[in-house]
Amino acid sequence: MSAVAGLPSPADPEAAYYQTIEEFFVARRGDPLFLSNADWLLIRGWRKAGTPLRVVLRGIADALDGHAHSWGRHRKVGSLAYCAAEVDIARDRWQRALALGEEPGASPDAALSAFAGALDQAPLDGDARVHAARLAAEIRGWAGDPPPLRDVEAMLAQRESALLARLRGVVSADRLAELERAADAELAPYASRMPAAVLAQIRGDSVARRVLALYGIPRLSLFYL
């Protein structure tokens, strides 16, 4: 069970991102208060920016460690926003390490090549197959001559959105409804705890992952490195 919210650990990785940040922050803060709507929206911003979970947790830890040694250490940190600057710094360090090949076990070139390979192998026909092949060639070109790393995540998100639009035209209405019901069932415990915008973001990511998985395609994002 979740140490904070009394919820089972989510099977949905999109929900896990939010819940893990909540649990980590609340535990490190040493106060059982739950996150505010503003806190949830801040996490949503990190997720939309493609900030990996471990990078967010590193930034939160750095912020709270700094607070523990500051003049104001006897005052409780009241909001996750206190950690936002350190999370931004941690994300910048992560992006620089990726660009320089210094992030252990993570390589943008390898990830981009893997995306291209999955698109090439996806069991698609007709216009969807043509679109996937063109996208694979484009992304494989990035691996050989990558754009600035800060731009890659937005470029991947744009391409993934266009790909999903194609795939939604291929998937039957019944199958798509089944995927949406599965996502809704896993996210139901969070419906009363999060702002509607946050829940909608998680649901959209969850359904997108399920649609892509039908064709053996991962989410097109460096977020998972």
Report yes or no on 8 lying in a domain. no
**Domain-embedded: residue 217:** yes
Task: Write down the mean pLDDT value for the chain.
Answer: 86
What is the number of domains present in the chain?
Answer: 2
Among 79, 99, 119, the domain-final residue is 99
Instruction: Label residue 68 by pLDDT band (50, 70, 90).
Output: confident
pLDDT in tens, 87-137: 999 999 988 887 776 665 567 888 899 999 999 999 999 999 999 999 999
Q: What is the largest CA-CA distance in the chain?
A: 65
Give phi and psi for 6, each to the nearest 5: 70, 25
- Mean pLDDT, rounded, for 33-61: 91
pLDDT at 5 over 80: no
The pLDDT value recorded for residue 3 is 41
Write out pLDDT tens, residues 146-166.
787 778 888 999 999 999 999
Question: pLDDT of 202-221, one tens digit each?
Answer: 999 999 999 999 999 999 98
Residues 222 and 103: beta-carbon distance below 8 Å: no
Note whether residue 152 is domain-resident.
Answer: yes
> 205 and 134 in one domain?
yes
Asked if residue 3 belongs to a domain, the reply is no
What's the whole-model pTM score?
0.82
Residues 54 and 29 in one domain: yes
Residue 9 carries which DSSP code?
P
Domain co-membership, 161 together with 71: no
Q: Is position 33 within any domain?
A: yes
**Structural domain for 59, as ranges:** 13-99
Residues 62 and 159 in one domain: no
